[in-house]
């Protein structure tokens, strides 16, 4: 059977790297993987993970999703001349009190997470439409379905990705192109290390003491979530495989069922207040108890 051509963004680490390694290692060589990354100097980790065994199933390309020229150059390097499965995975976080998030940081987050995802889809979509065939998988986040304090702009970018994908999915049904969001909770990757954090030591006067202590509680909550509920990239890869191999993939997949009760409040109590109270209680309990 002809190899499925897969292009994945953000493969220098984390979910993208694991997915690229897994698909390129398929014993039946079912996939030709174009693992793309912004900076090719970081390709060593991927190469070490595949141990040079996959010359006919893996190619590494430079691709910065904030740069249209770089996306087009990557596209023109695909020897098969097509992408059957597009995985929009690259993303970056931004955390901290909103008052300290600079215009530059906010633009960067939106440029990568929202516009980068849209740019990538825009580039590969015409060919998929012509073929009347394709899969678009997007690494989503529970932060795209529910608000999280100190993550306002990150969540806004991921909420926006949800809107873009849902809108596209309606149209693309008519082209036999399946769009799926893989909604992740905490995953053990470089995400926390790579995320942009506001510096609370510098322009500290702009942030009041209550916000500071609530942020401390949030960071503690985040730490606990990663300790207790974080998944490994292999768990996420299994969900991606389910989507890729399904003849009729769903629109949303939730990788971490432990997080569903809270996020489903958004849909059962539609005015939104219950979710806000429940999340606030969960994160800031100590503070509420203190006050």
Residue 275 annotated in active site:
no
Footprint (CB under 6 A) of ligand NAD, residues 133-152: 139, 141
Closer Cβ to ligand NAD, 211 or 221, answer by number: 221
E strands, the chain, in order: 4-8, 31-37, 58-62, 85-88, 94-95, 134-141, 177-184, 196-197, 252-254
The C-alpha atoms of residue 257 and residue 241 are separated, in whole angstroms, by 18
DSSP percent split of the chain into helix, strand, coil, nearest 5: 55, 15, 30
Question: Who's near 16: CB < 8 A, 6+ residues apart?
Answer: 8, 9, 10, 35, 37, 87, 89, 90, 139
Q: Is 116 in the site for ligand NAD (CB under 6 A)?
A: yes
Footprint (CB under 6 A) of ligand NAD, residues 181-200: 184, 186-187, 189-191, 194
Closer Cβ to ligand NAD, 15 or 283, answer by number: 15
Look at residues 87, 193, 211 and name the one whose alpha carbon lies nearest to residue 140: 87
Residue 77: helix, strand or coil by DSSP? Answer: coil
Closer Cβ to ligand NAD, 64 or 84, answer by number: 64
Binding flags for ligand NAD, 79-108, as an x/- string (CB under 6 A): ----------xxxx----------------
Choose which of 4, 38, 54, 178 interacts with ligand NAD (CB under 6 A).
38
Reduced 3-state DSSP string for 28-72: CCCEEEEEEECCHHHCHHHHHHHCCCCCCCEEEEECCCCCHHHHH
Looking at 154, 215, 254, 275, which residue is catalytic? 154
Looking at 4-12, 164-172, 201-209, 264-272, which segment touches ligand NAD (CB under 6 A)?
4-12
Q: How far is the CB of 35 from ligand NAD (least distance, A)?
A: 10
Binding flags for ligand NAD, 45-64, as an x/- string (CB under 6 A): -------------------x
Residue whose entry in the numeric block shows the structure tokens 């087009």: 72
Give the residues lining the site for ligand NAD (CB under 6 A). 9-10, 12-16, 37-38, 64-66, 89-92, 112, 116, 139, 141, 184, 186-187, 189-191, 194
């Amino acid at each position: 059977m002809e190899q499925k051509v897969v292009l994945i963004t953000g493969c220098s680490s984390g979910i993208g790297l694991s997915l690229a390694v897994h698909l390129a290692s398929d014993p039946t060589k079912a996939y030709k993987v174009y693992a793309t990354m912004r900076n090719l100097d970081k390709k060593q980790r991927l190469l070490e993970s595949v141990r040079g065994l996959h010359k006919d199933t893996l190619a590494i390309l430079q691709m910065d999703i904030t740069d249209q020229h770089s996306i087009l150059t990557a596209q023109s390097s695909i020897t098969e001349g097509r992408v059957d499965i597009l995985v929009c995975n690259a993303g970056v976080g931004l955390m901290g009190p909103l008052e300290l998030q600079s215009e530059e940081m906010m633009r960067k987050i939106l440029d990568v997470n929202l516009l980068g995802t849209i740019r990538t889809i825009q580039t590969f979509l015409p060919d998929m439409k012509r073929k009347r065939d394709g899969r678009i998988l997007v690494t989503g986040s529970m932060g795209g379905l529910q608000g999280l304090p100190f993550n306002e702009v990150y969540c806004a970018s991921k909420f926006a990705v949800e809107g873009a994908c849902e809108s596209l999915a309606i149209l693309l049904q008519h082209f036999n192109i399946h769009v799926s969001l893989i909604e992740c909770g905490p995953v053990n990757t470089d995400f926390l290390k790579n995320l942009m954090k506001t510096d609370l030591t510098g322009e500290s006067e702009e942030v009041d003491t209550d916000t500071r202590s609530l942020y401390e509680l949030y960071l503690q909550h985040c730490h606990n979530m990663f300790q207790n509920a974080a998944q490994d990239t292999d768990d996420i890869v299994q969900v991606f495989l389910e989507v890729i191999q399904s003849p009729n993939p769903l629109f949303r997949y939730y990788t971490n069922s432990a997080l569903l009760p809270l996020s489903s409040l958004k849909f059962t109590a539609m005015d939104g207040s219950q979710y806000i109270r429940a999340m606030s209680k969960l994160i800031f309990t100590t503070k509420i108890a203190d006050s």
